[in-house]
Chain A
Amino acid sequence: MSSAPGSGKFVRIDKQGEAVVVAPLFTFASFTEADLVAEWQAVQHEIDAPGVKHVIVDLGEIPYFGSTVLEWMVQMWKRAKAKGGSLATCNCSKIGREVLHAARFDTLWGVFDSRDEALKSVGQTPA
């Protein structure tokens, strides 16, 4: 079952079974931490909700990203891992894949072409 917990200024959050799908809408660098807090709280709230185990990060809205987005992804991954879940990424641009590869996160997280493939990788049925 798919639902749409909400779309903020910086991220869009969807829910699909046991997975939360988080789509960053900007590369974040220009925003102060305080700007991001409310939406980060919403993301955390969704990941921590009962019945949620996995996080899918849909990177299709941003052409590239750097260490700031990677750091947020690490935080989400840790939260999912603590619940026995995992993190997968999807819709990554070519440069986005290079970023994940350079930081070696492509060995830790699945990198998929589509959201459906990412959802299937964590055992969820796409909508």
Chain B
Amino acid sequence: MPRVLVVDDSAVDRRFVGGLLSKAGRYQVDFAEDGSQALSQMRQAPPDLIVTDLQMPNRNGLELVAAVRMHHPNVPIILMTGHGSEALAVEALQRGASGYVPKPHLGDRLLEAVDEALAMSKADRTYDRLISCMSKCTFAFELDSDPALIDPLVDLVQQMVAGMKLTDATGRFRVGAALKEALLNAVYRGNLEISFQEMQAARVSLVEGGGEDLFLKRRSQKPYGDRKVFVDVTLDTGQAKFVIRDQGPGFDPASLPPPGQPGSLDPEVGRGLVLMRAFMDEVTYSAGGNEVTMIKGRESAV
């Protein structure tokens, strides 16, 4: 029987929602009084689904959604929204909540929303099982120099890396962080040729008013705007390999300090590279400097 955790600081509302769910006879129902208590209970045993109020003390519904997405990404969350909290609900959906039911409509809509979210969650788990059986996967992208494409690509890779059990949850974020840095470098430093100092100066002038967005300007200019970022990803049961190539002028990789050397902290060299080296097992540049290969081996404990 699926376990549903009802989170609400109002005892009356908890009883009401718990009653609705219990009467249906197909869920086991637990309760928490706020987001902090819910997370504490989840550390012991995560539920199959959460139904939560938005406005609560000690971690509201939004904060709960963020924390659950971080620590229990497979647990769906349904929000109960009161009058006037529609904007918050939209924000919660953007952060990963599965859906919401206005409080005045709980009686006629909650069970349907719960069943739907549980069915989707079950389908996701079946999909996860299928991905875990995958032995090799390769994909290639030819991206415009648009940072808006970076997060979705990183997200996709993280899902695949975790699905193929190459890393644990933390390792998945390590891979994501390193990949994101490599892509940002390819877009900004590589294709758009925006140096750290130029970025800093443009940021200051933007914040102080009157400045123009250097990123948008470069994207609209030739040759910068026409350049692509090529991403090849190969995942197999032993490792994840990423090759990222930009069409910028490149640089001399011999100028990079060895990993762990103090020079790595110089912003010009890039904190991004420091993170790439910290989170990948191997990071190597092509002789021309505009292609980086990163390898992350399978984590043994997974």
Name A's B-contacting residues (CB within 8 A): 27, 29-34, 37, 40-41, 44, 60-68, 70-71, 93-95, 98-99, 102-104
Contact = CB atoms under 8 A, between A and B. Distances in A.
A29 B207 contact: no
Contacts of A32: 147, 213, 215-216
B177 A95 contact: yes
Contacts of A31: 147
Contacts, number: 85
A111 B274 CA distance: 19
Contacts of B277: 102
B228 interface: no
B146 to A, nearest CB: 9
A73 to B, nearest CB: 11
B279 interface: yes
B271 A33 contact: no
B184 A67 contact: yes
Given A98-B174, A102-B274, A33 B184 contact: no
Max count, chain B CB within 10 A of own CB: residue among A62, A64, A98: A64
State the majority secondary structure of interface residues on B: helix
A95 B174 contact: yes
Q: How large is the interface on B (under 10, 10 to 19, 20 to 34, 35 or more residues)?
A: 35 or more
A48 to B, nearest CB: 12
A13 B68 CA distance: 22
Nearest to B206: A37
B255 to A, nearest CB: 19
Given A32-B216, A102-B278, A68 B184 contact: yes
Contacts of A63: 69-70, 173
Contacts of B177: 64-66, 95, 99
Counting from the closest, the 8 A-B pairs by CB-CB distance are A102-B278, A95-B173, A67-B271, A34-B213, A64-B173, A63-B70, A67-B272, A30-B151
A76 B67 CA distance: 25
Contacts of B70: 63, 93
Contacts of B275: 66-67, 99, 102-103
28 contacts: A27-B180, A30-B147, A30-B148, A30-B151, A32-B216, A33-B202, A33-B213, A34-B213, A34-B215, A37-B206, A37-B207, A60-B66, A60-B67, A64-B176, A64-B177, A66-B177, A66-B184, A66-B271, A68-B184, A93-B70, A95-B170, A99-B177, A99-B278, A102-B274, A102-B278, A102-B279, A103-B265, A103-B274
